[in-house]
Structure 1
Amino acid sequence: MAKVLVVYYSLYGHIHKLAEAIGEGASSVDGIKVSIKRVPETLSNDIIEKMGATDIQQKIKSTVSEVSLDDLTNADAIIFGTPTRFGNMCAQMKTFLDSTGSIWSRGELFGKVGSVFVSSNTQHGGQESTILTFLPYLFHQGMIVVGLPYLFKGQTIMSEISGCSPYGASCVAGENSSRNVSQNEIAGAFFQGKYVALITKDISNNREKYFKTLVSLNN
């Protein structure tokens, strides 16, 4: 079975909900095995308490295990989820990605599918720029980048506030992070998960052949 790994950080639970929808979408494809993991926390417990996120963090930590480098290398596709931080990924995700140099040096993510989903407090809080500034990591690792195509018609609705763009699924959390993830945003995440899984299923069996062919060009 092809393996799809969803790796995320979520402070108030919005990315957590999108991650679950991403996983459900990927799981709906036959021959796909899905794992959902979280990156390590870098904030202290007292800071998390001051931010009013203790309860949701305890819930996430009790149900979702931390990702390891082996999880990345064992996956055929990796879908990353992060809240926006001033138009960029959060520090927790960046810290984890910065620990993957050894994987990069061995080309262990080459030819694997990579995708990104995000959240922001406001409609214009950097959802698209966060994905765009995340993509260089995927390219440096030699991954095949997949977004959220306009085949998902929920991107074009005008009847409600909603996340999602051609770069990936997203949600608007609200200025105080009190807004629930909408059904349209959940649908976008499900679509992206299924899309990634379908592509992964097609190419995973050929990845080793691509790798050997391209390595031979250096000889």
Structure 2
Amino acid sequence: MNDVQVAVIYYSATGGVYAMAEAATKAAETAGAQVRLRKVHELAPAEAIASNEGWGAHAAATQNVLEAGLDDLEWADVLIFGTPTRFGLPSAQLKQFIDSAGPLWAEGKLINKVATSFTSTATSHGGQESTLLALNNTFYHWGAIIVAPGYADAIQFAAGNPYGASHISNNGTVPPGDTELASVAFQATRAVGVAAALKKGFAAA
């Protein structure tokens, strides 16, 4: 599967989504894909970040992670998006990046890419499913092929979210555990496998 190219594009404030993005990256690489791990540009003012110890610490720890660009979207066969929820919707930071993809959409360069997403909320019932479904609305417009994890692996019966891997951070105090990380790893592996099959099928058509 080493001809499959994966972009893991995320926004994370205090590190939970970042940990899941790293797990997705490692799983995709293990599946044989070439992977780019990219964060989106931060929109919050420096004083807001500095006012939250966890936010500031995570920003400093990940300062060397490259920022996502449109070239990453165009390059990838698989798009894996990660975001915390904001009132049941994707974060403004990730949404701003998505909104910048209009030129690629207009040229049809996002059609038939495999797309999937994962999320984290501060509380239980904090909008996990609605956030993932909102991201799917973008994928429909792009003509992408949505690959959700479903219950296609035993880990999903423990994780419990067929829309995409998800995590409850308890207001940023609890990092993703083994179940959440295994769930997002399965999700990434499945996306790579589907993309490989699609590329083979399109090539033979």
TM-score exceeds 0.5: yes
Alignment partners' CA distance in 2, 1:89 and 1:197: 23
User: Cα deviations across residues 192-215 of structure 1 (Å, max 9, x unaligned)?
Assistant: 0100111111112555888xxxxx
Q: Does 1:178 align with 2:160?
A: no
After TM superposition, give the deviation of residue 152 of structure 1 in Å: 2.5
Note if contact 1:148-1:167 (Cα within 8 Å) is conserved in structure 2.
yes
Counterpart in 1 of 2:61? Answer: 59
Identity %: 35
Output the CA distance in 2 between the equivalents of 1:173 and 1:67.
25
Q: Which residue of 2 aligns with 1:12?
A: 14
Shift of residue 127, structure 1, vs aligned partner: 0.5
Q: Distance in 2 between matches of 1:59 and 1:135?
A: 30
Distance 2:63 2:95 in 1: 19
Alpha-carbon deviations, 1:40-70, whole Å to 9, x = none?
Answer: 11011111111321111111122x1001101
Q: Corresponding residue for 1:89?
A: 90
RMSD: 1.6
Partner residue in 2 for 1:214: none
> 2:183 aligned with 1:188, yes or no?
yes
1:47 matches 2:48: yes
Aligned to 1:37: 38
Amino acid at match of 2:15: G
Distance in 2 (alpha carbons) for counterparts of 1:98 and 1:132: 17
Which residue of 148, 163, 167 corresponds with 2:163? 167
Hey, which bits of structure 1, 4+ residues long, moved more than 2 A?
151-157, 204-210
In structure 2, what residue type is equivalent to 1:82?
Answer: T
Deviation by residue 1:89-117 (Cα, 9 ceiling, x = unmatched): 00001111111110110010101100000
- Matched pairs, number: 202
Unaligned runs of 5+ in 1: 158-162, 211-219
When structure 1 is superposed on structure 2, of 107-116 and 43-52 the one drifting more is: 43-52
For the pair 1:71 / 2:72, whether they are aligned, the reply is: yes
Structure 1 residue 164 displacement after superposition: 4.9
Deviations 1:169-198 (A, max 9, x none): 111111x31012110001001100100111
Distance in 1 separating the partners of 2:203 and 2:49: 43
CA distance in 1, matches of 2:160, 2:81: 15
1:203 match: 198
Larger Rg: 1
Give structure 2 stretches of 5+ with no counterpart.
none
The alpha-carbon deviation at position 156 of structure 1 amounts to: 2.7
2:30 and 2:124 mapped to 1: Cα distance?
30
Distance 1:115 1:207 in 2: 20
8 Å CA contact retained: 2:149, 2:156: no
TM-score w.r.t. the length of structure 1 is 0.88
> How many angstroms does 1:155 deviate by?
3.1
* Structure 2 equivalent of residue 116 of structure 1: 117
